[in-house]
Structure 1
C-alpha cells in the first residue's frame, strides 16, 4: 500500500502546497521532502518499498539504486521547449525565445525503453512576452498538470497509466539487470 510520497522540488516553498494538494486525495499519506540527491539518500530504506517519488520542476539526478527501491515508482514534472526537445533553453543565444512549451509528467526509469509520459500539456507563449512572464505562464501550466493528476499520484495504483511510450506494462526490477 502506498504510504509515503517523496517530494523532490526546486525550492522548499513548493513542498507544502504540493503536499497539501496530495493530502486532499489521501489523508493517510506521509511525506518526505528533498531538494537534492543527498536528501534522498538520507531517507530510511524501509520507507522506500511503500513510497512514490514525485519530482516537481527539480533538476536533480536521482540515483539508479534509489529508483529501484521505490515500490510505487517515480515521476517527474518538467517543462521543455517544443522547438528544442530535451534542452532547457535555445542552443544559441541569438535565437528567439521559444514560443511553445510542453509541460510533461513522465515516469523516471533507469531503462529508457520503459519510460512513459503520463501527462502532457502545451503552452503557447504570446509574441512579445518578457522572460519573467513566460516563466510564470509555463510554471502555472506545470502546476495545473500536477493539480489535474494529483488524484492519481496520491492513489494507490502501483503505476500511473501512460499516454505515450512503454507498451510493456511490466515494471523493470533488479533481477532484469542480471
Structure 2
C-alpha cells in the first residue's frame, strides 16, 4: 500500500470546499480543528489585541489570529492562536497561507486541547525559526514563554510579560489577559 502525503495545495482545495472548517496540515495529514472554548478565544483575542494595539502604530509588523495559516518550511500548514511577523519579513499580506515562519506564536489552551500537543506545536515552530513561542493556560492562569535553547519561563498573576529580545518596551500584565467577571 502506498501512502500519499497531502500538500498545502490539497489543504487549500479542501478548505475551499469546506469553508466553515478550520484545518491544519501536519506531517502530510489534515487535522480538522474544533472550535476553541469561549474563554480561550477571549484570552487569545485579548493577547492579540494588546499586541496589535502596540505594534500597529509603530508599523512593526502583522498580528493575526487562529484563522491565518502559515505554509512552513517542513511542508506543514499550521495556525497559531495568535502570531506576529515583523514588517520587513512580510511587506504585504498574502491572499492565501503565508510562506513564512512567524517571529512570535501563541497557543491558548481550550478545554479540549492537550497540553503536551500544544507544547510540542510550540517546539515545532521554534525548530523552524520562530523566535518566541508562548503557551497560555487559562485553566491555571499561567503563561509559559519558550525560546530555543532556553528553559521555559513561567509567569502568573502579578507578573508582567515582556519580550525584550523581540519587542523591546512592549509589556502586558498577566492578570490583564484573563476573561473579566462582571457583577
The answer, yes or no, to whether TM exceeds 0.5 is no
RCO comparison, higher one (Cα < 8 Å, 6+)? 1
Which of the two has greater helix per residue? 1
TM-score of the two chains, using structure 2 as the length reference: 0.29
Which of the two has greater strand per residue? 2
